[in-house]
A and B are shown apart, each in its own frame.
Chain A
Amino acid sequence: MSTTVPELHLDVADTVPIPFWRQVRVEFRKSYDTRAGFWLLATIGILVGLVEGFILIATLVQESPVLWSDFAYTAGGITSLLLPVLAILLVTSEWSQRSAMVSFTLEPRRSRVVGAKLAVSAIYAVLTMVAMLVIGVVGTGICELVQPELTEWDFDAKLAIAFLVSQLLTMALGFAFGSLLLNTPAAIVVFFIYWYIVPTVLFVVGELRDWLGDLLEWFNFQASLQPLVDWELNTGEEWAKLLVSGFIWIVLPLAGGIYRILRAEVK
């Protein structure tokens, strides 16, 4: 009997836990190895290419003045609209396809898997910022060659950083709704309503009464974000509004979503 005792013990002392960077690599690969992920990225690329091409041709044909930011903002705008869907898919597709069962069996420390997915969202935000800069340079560069006197390099690093911050936030929010709802269509619809319609509603309602407008400013995250984007975040009140509304808009849904994933019984 005594000889069988050591066999019953699994020696795991020499096994290296899965490093975080490897989990990030796996999650990154998952973001483009399905048709949904691949075509979402391809669609963003094709749309950006078409619209930028159109701007370029229109500018050159009409010999109209053009700015570096015309190219960069167009690329940034299109990606920031569509890329959050990728963050949503990162979470919801694991649930609808039930592969979360395998992911969480291979890495039972679920927070690491969630963290890796968040890291992938952040990587995409950085990549789009880089792509935006490059596209701006290429588009402006071509115009510079053809019509130097009409082309202006109004490059501003502050704007690039502001873009990155808002892109990171929308990705985080898409991720949050994906985890809260664990259902692709529902998460996409709720995300777009939440991010694009609610701020407008808050603003319109705030116009009705002065006191209501003052109060709602504390809830309107996009409005509070504006000073940051413009690099004019000066007063303590602006900071306070940004923190309060950011907590309500981003931190709460994200915390709720992550809590749900960590606790959920994966079926």
Chain B
Amino acid sequence: MIQVDHLSKSYGGFTAVDDVSFTCQPGRVTGFLGPNGAGKTTTMRVMVGLTPATRGQVTIGGHDYRHIPNPGRHVGVLLDASAQHAGRTGREILTLGATTMGLPQSRVDQMLELVGLSKAESKRRLRNYSLGMKQRLGIAHALLGDPSVLILDEPANGLDPAGIRWMRGLLKGYADRGGTVLLSSHLLHEVELIADEMILIGHGRIVAQGDRTSLMAAHRRSALTLATSLDNDKLAAELTATGHAVTPMGAGLHIAATPEEVGRAALAAHVVLTDLRDGGANLEDLFLELTSSTQRDEIGATA
């Protein structure tokens, strides 16, 4: 539904987004992950025509966003929950949006209720809103026109844990009804649980994409296990004999083998294991490794 095609954006000599391509499918939540300054916001701004692309293009449902008539009815956008007049009340902000899109005032009340902003809260001015309340209002604004595509930039920012869980449910339900959701975050755990698909971006480039399993499978490094036993020397000797590199570490061992191999070695050597852990990369390590330039450079240099 959203198609990003060889998109690049440069500011002077600095390339903020570098040849980025990906697609977001209907019925799925796509997580757009990357550390601060990776180029997520810039990519999303190009999507909705606020920033011109240097090269490449983005289409939404086959259209350039700027050519979609009354785009709020098709694409819900939340780029920055604070980018509203601080002196307007939440209700007034939604009313302006609803009027622009040609929606009845009742839609405003529905959306306020959906995002859990009370009547009293909706009559406060935006400058008196907490960040979490602004995010809720922003999500309400994005959903006003009952769009089939949602583009949300860091919507979980500032939400409390209950709010994050609420948003997860909301977006999941939205995607289950056939909607397309693209949401960005710099925090893996915010999107890990809802994203069917993840796009990892670092320094303007896409470094990995896919669902959780395929990401892990594609980037599985050599096996690594951390083990502690009642007789580390005996276990180390058995593992070395079967051809695995072993280095002592603290009270335990650092072994270049899978946990299963270590378990079998302990069984063969009749050693009691007291701790056995998979030391291989988890998604978070993968995320940090892929998106940090210094590590990427080191890996590139030593490979």
Contacts and interface: CB of A to CB of B under 8 A. Distances in A.
Interface of A: 7-12, 15-18, 22-23, 25-26, 29-30, 33-36, 93-94, 97-99, 101-102, 104-109, 265-266
Contact of A93 (B26, B66, B85, B100): B85
Given A15-B73, A17-B70, A36-B87, A98 B82 contact: yes
Contacts, number: 109
Contacts of B62: 8-10
B152 interface: no
B71 A10 contact: no
A10 B63 contact: yes
A10 B97 contact: no
B9 to A, nearest CB: 10
Contacts of B186: none
Contacts of A93: 85
23 contacts: A8-B62, A10-B62, A10-B148, A12-B68, A15-B73, A16-B70, A17-B70, A26-B96, A29-B96, A29-B99, A93-B85, A97-B84, A99-B83, A101-B83, A102-B84, A104-B49, A105-B72, A105-B77, A105-B79, A106-B100, A108-B71, A109-B66, A265-B51
A34 B85 contact: yes
Interface residues of B, number: 43
A152 to B, nearest CB: 46
Contact of B100 (A8, A18, A108): A18
A106 B87 contact: no
B61 interface: yes
Interface of B: 1, 25-26, 48-52, 60-63, 65-66, 68-74, 77, 79-80, 82-88, 92, 95-97, 99-102, 141, 148-149, 178
A26 B85 contact: no
A10 B68 contact: yes
Nearest first, the 7 A-B pairs at minimum CB distance are A10-B61, A17-B69, A98-B83, A108-B66, A97-B85, A34-B87, A101-B83
A12 B97 contact: no
Contacts of B66: 108-109
Given A33-B88, A35-B87, A8 B1 contact: yes
Contact of B26 (A7, A11, A16, A266): A7
B61 to A, nearest CB: 2
Among A15, A25, A101, A102, max chain B CB count under 10 A is at A102
A8 B80 contact: no
B99 A102 contact: no
A102 to B, nearest CB: 6
